[in-house]
Structure 1
Amino acid sequence: MLVQGIHHVAYRCRDVQETIRFYKDALDMDLILAISEDHVPSTKEPNPYMHIFLDAGRGNVLAFFELPDSAPQGRDENTPAWVQHLAFQVEDVATLERSKAKLQAMGIEVLGPTNHEIFQSIYLHDPNGHRIELAANTVKPGQLERLRELAPLMIEEWGRTHRAVKHAAWLHEKEFAQATE
């Protein structure tokens, strides 16, 4: 395989200092390095920036750009806010629960936990408005294999119908049944 992993994922931020503080205080991520230039190296266009890199664990890197001379950041209004997000894995459900309590104690609004059957998640927003998901795996033996087997069938049906495909509905059936009782 050509790709060996994700080198880093980069997003825009309003203020690098605020962003560094949030990710350090809320998610225990440390600043790895910073790069600042007056011109974009790849395109040579003038656009001063500060580019920061944060340690997201296990060799994963989350990066941000502060662009003071660019228009204020926005988002694609045609895409629902819940679609674009950063999802970080935590060790287990107990860690997820401790994280939720810590974030709420910091005054951060947290949604969840949501049971996705193969993992549980909580959701929050960073100071830049980026949606963050913290996820703890809860997968049971055979579930991932079953989902992988179903994936091609689901993609084929979706391609024909562009309607929700029910092959893996078993993931959330218990949750919906409990919610309607």
Structure 2
Amino acid sequence: MKIDRIHHVAYRCKDAKETVLWYQKMLKMDFMLAISEDYVPSTKAADPYMHIFMDAGQGNVLAFFELPTQPEMGRDPNTPAWVQHIAFKVKDRETLLEYRAHLEANGVDVLGVTDHGAFHSIYFFDPNGHRLELACPDPDEENMLKRLDEVKWDMLEEWSRTKRAPKQGAFLHEREFRN
């Protein structure tokens, strides 16, 4: 018994149409389908919703729910804004830089390029307040991931005991950052 893949990941949105149009324009995702009901199929609760699905490439689906009868959506005040995010992979650094220019030209504040060793990323927020990341592989990604794989269990065990950042993976950030 094994999971095949993620079917979809669902988040809440403030406005379904605005969300579809933003993801189409900013991230070039196709609008796949919409489902709308007055009752939640799983719980039978009376709670009208619009459920939209966006094609995030290669069978990956990003979905959203607009819930007009629920209180305004918020975020966990005990979790920093940088923690919860959706990361999408792009082909290479050139594509990453093209997206950064495209987003900035359309008024989106973008942080980065951040060099994470095995990959490089930019960060920004969608109109719902969800933090997004676009990441591309580093030219040395294969070697970096192999080295991380070799130390992952030692790192996890040390973290579990000490709650301090283990140093086995420090090689990722030893080189100069490329911003």
What residue is the counterpart of 1:169 in the other structure?
170
Question: Aligned partners of 1:26, 1:19: CA distance in 2, in Å?
Answer: 10
Deviation of 1:170 after TM superposition, in Å, equals: 0.7
**Per-residue deviation, 1:139:** 5.0
Q: CA RMSD in A?
A: 1.4
Aligned-pair identity (%) = 58
1:152-167 map, 5 Å: 152-167=153-168
Question: Quick check: 12-21 or 135-144, which moved more?
Answer: 135-144
**Contact in 2 for aligned 1:154/1:165 (Cα 8 Å):** yes
Contact residue 13 and residue 19 of structure 1 kept, 8 A:
yes
Tell me the distance in 1 between the aligned counterparts of 2:120 and 2:128: 24
Q: How does 1:131-170 map to 2 (within 5 A)?
A: 131-140=131-140, 141-170=142-171
Which amino acid in the other structure matches residue 118 of structure 1?
A: A
Gaps of 5+ in 2: none
1:18 maps to 2:18: yes
Which residue is 1:73 aligned to?
A: 73
1:95 aligns with 2:98: no
Corresponding residue of 1:33 = 33
What is the identity, as a one-letter code, of the residue corresponding to 1:151? K
Describe the superposition over 1:100-147 as per-residue Cα deviations: whole angstroms up to 9, x where unpaired: 001000011000000011110000100000000000011524321211
Match of 1:113 in 2: 113
Shift of 1:165: 1.0
| CA 1:75–1:42: 2 relative to 1, 3 Å | same
TM normalised by structure 2 equals 0.96
Look up the equivalent residue of 1:99 and give its one-letter code. Answer: Y
Aligned length: 178
Cα distance, 1:72 vs. partner?
0.2
SS of 2:133's partner is: strand
**Deviation per CA, 1:132-166, whole angstroms, max 9, x where unpaired?**
00000115243212111100000000011001111
**C-alpha deviation, 1:48, in angstroms:** 0.3
Contact 1:117 / 1:139 at 8 angstroms: preserved in 2? no
**Alignment partners' CA distance in 1, 2:167 and 2:139:** 19
What's 1:2 paired with?
A: 2
Residue identity matched to 1:136: C
Runs of 4+ in 1 over 6 A off after TM superposition: none
Could you say what secondary structure the match of 2:148 adopts?
A: helix
Cα offset, 1:175, TM superposition: 3.1
In structure 1, C-alpha distance between the alignment counterparts of 2:102 and 2:15, rounded to whole Å: 23
- State how far apart, in whole Å, the 1-side matches of 2:110 and 2:65 are: 25
2:49–2:68 Cα contact (<8 Å) kept: yes
